[in-house]
């Protein structure tokens, strides 16, 4: 009986020892598993920090450097100056109202020809420039017209014959004095330094065109 009891106790001790070993192996495996998880977490965190550093680098690359900001500012100033100059040029052109090579006086534009034409040819030449042969019934304007040309020039005053009265091309009767020659067939008027005078319509002279503008 004593031998059997001792054998049973030895068997129980052996089984307890095996159980202890199994528990130890299980704890070791769980510890290893936990360590692997922590290692994976540590691996992921460095990667995340590297991503953040990469994003910071990209952000710094996208933002302009000080020299680029300076260049952009200079270009902006140049563009502003060019726009200002163009605006002034456009304003200057719009304020003149008259075509190039024309003179401005009050609300009128005047053009003095450089070629000689007959009175009728001069009338047509002015019409082709969207104007009319200059005419005036005002002494102040007459003096201004005389100052434009150093030679006698056709203006828009005529008569049908020596038996008809003088007439402006707008149909009204002039009040300014017109010096007449005793010889006939002088039915058109020229402007010279000191006033108005009759002349043959077929002679060739300079002429003055007049164009009115409205502001």
Over residues 152-178, the pLDDT tens digits come to 999 999 999 988 999 999 999 999 999
Residue 198 — left, alpha, or beta (φ > 0 → left; ψ -120 to 50 → alpha)?
beta
Q: Which residues pair with 196 in a beta bridge?
A: 178, 191
Q: What is the pLDDT of residue 52?
A: 46
Do 43 and 134 lie in a common domain?
Answer: no
- Nearest residue to 207 (alpha-carbon basis) of 130, 112, 107, 109: 112
Q: What is the pLDDT of residue 128?
A: 95
Residue 17 confidence (pLDDT) above 60? no
Q: pLDDT, tens digit, for every residue of 81-134?
A: 877 666 555 444 445 578 888 999 888 999 999 999 999 999 999 999 999 999
Do 92 and 134 lie in a common domain?
Answer: no
Do 207 and 121 lie in a common domain?
Answer: yes
pTM for the model stands at 0.55
User: What is the domain range of residue 89?
Assistant: 66-96
Do 83 and 112 lie in a common domain?
Answer: no
């Amino acid at each position: 009986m004593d031998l059997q009891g001792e054998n049973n106790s030895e068997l129980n001790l052996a089984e307890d020892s095996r159980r202890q070993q199994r528990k130890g192996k299980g704890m070791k495996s769980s510890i290893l598993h936990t360590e692997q998880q922590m290692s994976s977490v540590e691996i992921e965190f460095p990667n995340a920090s590297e991503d953040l550093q990469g994003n910071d680098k990209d952000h710094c690359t996208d933002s302009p450097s000080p020299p680029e900001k300076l260049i952009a500012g200079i270009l902006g100033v140049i563009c502003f100056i060019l726009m200002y100059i163009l605006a002034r040029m456009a304003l200057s052109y719009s304020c003149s109202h008259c075509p190039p090579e024309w003179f401005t006086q009050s609300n009128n534009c005047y053009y003095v020809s450089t070629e000689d034409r007959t009175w009728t040819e001069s009338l047509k030449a002015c019409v082709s420039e969207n104007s009319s042969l200059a005419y005036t019934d005002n002494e102040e304007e007459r003096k201004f017209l005389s100052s434009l040309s150093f030679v006698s020039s056709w203006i828009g005053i005529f008569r049908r014959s020596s038996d008809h009265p003088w007439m402006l091309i707008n149909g009204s009767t002039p009040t300014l004095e017109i010096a007449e020659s005793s010889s006939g067939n002088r039915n058109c008027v020229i402007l010279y330094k000191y006033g108005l005078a009759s002349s043959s319509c077929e002679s060739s002279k300079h002429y003055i065109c007049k164009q009115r503008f409205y502001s």
